[in-house]
Every structure is written in C-alpha cells, then in structure tokens.
Amino acid sequence: MSSTSSVSTPTRTIRIGSRKSQLALIQTHWVRDELKKRFPEVAFEVTTMDTQGDRVLDVSLSKIGDKGLFTQELEDGMVQGDIDFAVHSLKDLPTRLPEGLMLGCVTEREDPADALVMHSQHQDKTLKDLPEGAVIGTSSLRRLAQLRHHFPHLQFKDIRGNLNTRLRKLDEGGYDAIILAVAGLRRMDMGDRIHEILPPEISLHAVGQGALGIECREGDDDILSVLQVLSHGPTTQRCLAERAFLRELEGGCQVPIGVNTTLDAADVLTLTGIVASLDGQQMIKNTQSGPADDAEAIGTALAKQLRSQGAQAILDEITAANRT
C-alpha cells in the first residue's frame, strides 16, 4: 500500500494498544516505528494498559484461567473504539477471539525455542549436568511437563513476573536456572543471558511463540491494509497451523501442549505436537505434513490424531483437576 493512500491523510491518527511491560513496549514500539517508515504522514500513538496477567503475580497462570489473561483489557479497548489495534506476543493471544475482533497480522518470527538461563554458579554445566535436586524456575505447564519427563531428578518451582524480575530472582539465588523464551531475551537485548537453547527433542515450544500477533476489529479495512505491510507469509502459515492445533484441542495455559513447525522450499509444512500429563509421565506426540496453504487443516488433523492416540484422556484428567 502506498503512503498516498486515502487511509494515510495528514490528520489521521492510529492508536495502538500495548501492555505496560518493558518487553511488550519494545515489541509495540517496533511495530509503531516500522509503520512510521511506511506511512510517515500518519500519527501513531501508543496507549498502555494493565492486564489481569500483569496484575495477579502471586498465583500461577494455570490457576487463574487462560481466557485472555494478557489480552482482555486491550480487546475491550478495541471494541469500545479507544484503540485501533493491539500488539500481542502471539502465544498470549487466545485461539478464539471475541466477536468483532480478528487476527489482522502476524509478523516475522524470532527463534521460537525455549532458553535455559543458568545461575552464575553453574556456568560450566548444561541442563543435563545439573545435580539432583537443582531448582528450575518456570511458570509454564508446557515446559514443566516436558522437563519433568526428560529430567526427573530436577526440582521445579513456579516463577512469575516480567523478564527482569525473573532474572533478578535467579541471580539472587532463588533458582539454579530458569527457562525463558529465546525471542523475549533477544528482543530485550539480553541474548547474552542465554546459556543453552533447548532443542525440540527436549522442549517443543508454545503455540505462536516468537511471533507478534496484531489484533484489530473485523471489517476495519483501513487498519487491515496498513497492517499488511508487516505480515510475514511463512510465519503466518506456521502459526495458523499451530493455532488450529491448539484450538481443536481446546487448550491454553492450563494444558501442557507444545509444537514445532517447519516449512521447506517446496512449501510443505510439517507440524509436530504433543499433549503431556502434568507429571511428565505421559507424552502423546505425532507429526503431520501437507501443503502450507492447508495450514489450519494440518493443525486440526494433528489434534484429532493425538486425541485418537490417548490425548483426550490426559485433557479430561487435567480439566477435572482444574475444577477441584
């Protein structure tokens, strides 16, 4: 879209919604600055909001629910017309969006893998070398289940707070290591804290991890046309497959579900997914491939395949446990 388009008049102001955390603002300011380059005559204003996930820090994510923990307030702002679109870490955006809202754009993905950040006393070790009883911090049931499966001799402790807070808790000695997203550390210019990038064989990543998802109102063609300059096709296809997989399983923060996607030169998309029990004892895993244009169908098919392999029993057990 050219900057002379009718949506880009000198008096036009576009309002962007963001969480207040440092990482959220880095991501939102990147989106704002990229759009300014394309549309220099448009004013882009950032409005920040606290979400429930930001305010409730003394309870694990899995216990406070998974319905828009980091998105609802921003979504309310769009519905009410206070903001025009919101920038999310795509992994935080539910697969079922409120009526009238849509996923308008997915940006090019940073490395979606999980990263091990080690306490200074263990700099000479890898994850598998940590001594029995070493304490690993993570707030993700997905990471927890997979690491329990591979490293049953380690202990795991919930950790909440923004990225800086988690790193401080590690450095103060509350943990021997913590698990964070590679993407977040790199976007915060803290890539030097990455001690080890966990391979998919150890930890399949979260759905949408590493990508930004920009949510907007359905039918807002002016905003959609602006956002398309940031859309990244291969990332979008991979993330649509992952989100369809999660949507079919009806999972969220309360269910250990992990994925990994690849897209080859022939546009064949391969999606690997797992559903794990909370204790890591059961892991249902499989892979599905197909044309990238059928991304959502691939995700749905893989979810149904895992259900037929026994994933449904795990999901039912976790759902029952969450009700008690």
> Catalytic: 279?
no
Q: How far apart are CA 5 and CA 319, in angstroms?
A: 50
Q: How far apart are CA 111 and CA 23, in angstroms?
A: 16
145: exposed, middle or buried (Cβ count in 10 Å: 0-12, 13-18, 19+): buried
Q: Residue 161's CB: how many other CB atoms inside 10 A?
A: 14
Of 50, 66, 84, 92, catalytic: 92
Q: Identity (one letter) of the amino acid at 118? A: M
Q: How far apart are CA 315 and CA 251, in angstroms?
A: 8
Q: With beta carbons less than 8 A apart as the criterion, state whether 19 and 51 touch.
A: yes
Q: Identity (one letter) of the amino acid at 316? A: D
Q: With beta carbons less than 8 A apart as the criterion, state whether 9 and 69 touch.
A: no
- Residues known to be catalytic: 92
